[in-house]
Amino acid sequence: MRETSQAKSDLRPSLLAMPAIQPALLRQQAAELAEHFADPPVFIRSLHHLLGFYADRARHPGQSGAPPPIITAYKVRPPVLRMILQQLIPLAIEEPRAGLALCDSLWAEPYLEPRLLAAMLLGQIPAEPPAQILERILAWLAPNLEFFLIDAVMKNSFVRLQKEQPRSIVRLIQDWLALKDPFYKQLGLRALLPLIENPEFQNMPVFFRLIQPLTSQTPSVLRPDLLDVLVALARRSPQETGFFLQQTLNMPDSEDTAWLIRQSLDEFPPELQQTLRAAERQSVENR
């Protein structure tokens, strides 16, 4: 009996192991899946079959790193979704209405990978009119959505909007930052980062206008996100960002600005660091 049990134990890892990814085979499978692009129910069934083929069914207790997603996941390797997306992008560009319908069906699935694919595909659909993209982002992003999917939407679903309709993103950010719920303020700050890092978006003053109220008084839950924004601004335009911080520091009820300056100081050139330190000391003395 011991030998039989040992034999079963030896076989278990190979039975549960993920199949090796063969690029040519995966490309063929993704191309066959893409043939159902305009028929979401058939596409979804075929997608589950393909994800099941590449699924990692083994458990990995005690692994370090970020906690696993709560939503059910096939745990396929990233190249699988990337190859599927690669096959879908030309179709979504040619037939955006069908692409949007497929995104809706993918997001309706209670599985991680279809939703990740929905977020990635939405960001590749032409953003004209922008409302057809924005309404889905607004519907998907909710406080009860887990981090994996929030992160996927924020990173992927704005891609073409950032290039083609940046003003629509500015309006969305303004709306989010105006809400009382910290969740939406966090979304607004995170949505600013790609615009700040986009050299083609030249309207720097709009960034400072949007964050000024939070720079004066920063709720603790928003401090990490606001610091990320200030760091991005300092790297893009240290002089303008330093001037903005000095101005905010001199405004009434701006007790949190000094803390933000101290935390972001290393991102500025040495001479500007000295100026900001002096302004901070002067602000403390004046209070």
Backbone angles phi, psi at 162, to 5 degrees: -60, -35
Q: How far apart are CA 19 and CA 275, in angstroms?
A: 59
What local confidence, expressed as pLDDT, does residue 17 receive? 59
> How many domains are contained in the chain?
1
Q: Decide if 238 is inside a domain.
A: yes
Domain that holds residue 278: 203-287
Q: How far apart are CA 155 and CA 203, in angstroms?
A: 21
Check residue 64 and give its pLDDT.
Answer: 45
* Residue 235 confidence (pLDDT): 96
**Per-residue confidence (pLDDT) for residue 70, from 0 to 100:** 83
Domain membership of residue 214 (yes or no) is yes
Is 273 within the bounds of a domain?
yes
**For the chain, what is the total number of helices (H) and then of strands (E)?**
16, 0
What does each of the 287 residues of the chain score in pLDDT, given as a tens digit? 334 444 333 333 344 556 788 999 999 999 999 999 999 999 999 999 999 999 987 655 444 455 667 899 999 999 999 999 999 999 999 999 999 999 999 999 999 999 999 999 999 999 989 999 999 999 999 999 999 999 999 999 999 999 999 999 999 999 999 999 999 999 999 999 999 999 999 999 999 999 999 999 999 999 999 999 999 999 999 999 999 999 999 888 888 999 999 999 999 999 999 999 999 888 776 76
In a domain? residue 232: yes
Instruction: Fill in the amino acid letter for 115.
Output: R
Task: Give the C-alpha separation, 256 to 153, whole Å.
Answer: 30
Domain-located, residue 170: no
| Residue 243, domain member (yes or no) | yes
- Which pair of tokens denotes residue 205? 């003053």
Q: Which two tokens stand for residue 13?
A: 């890892």
Residue 98 placed within a domain? no
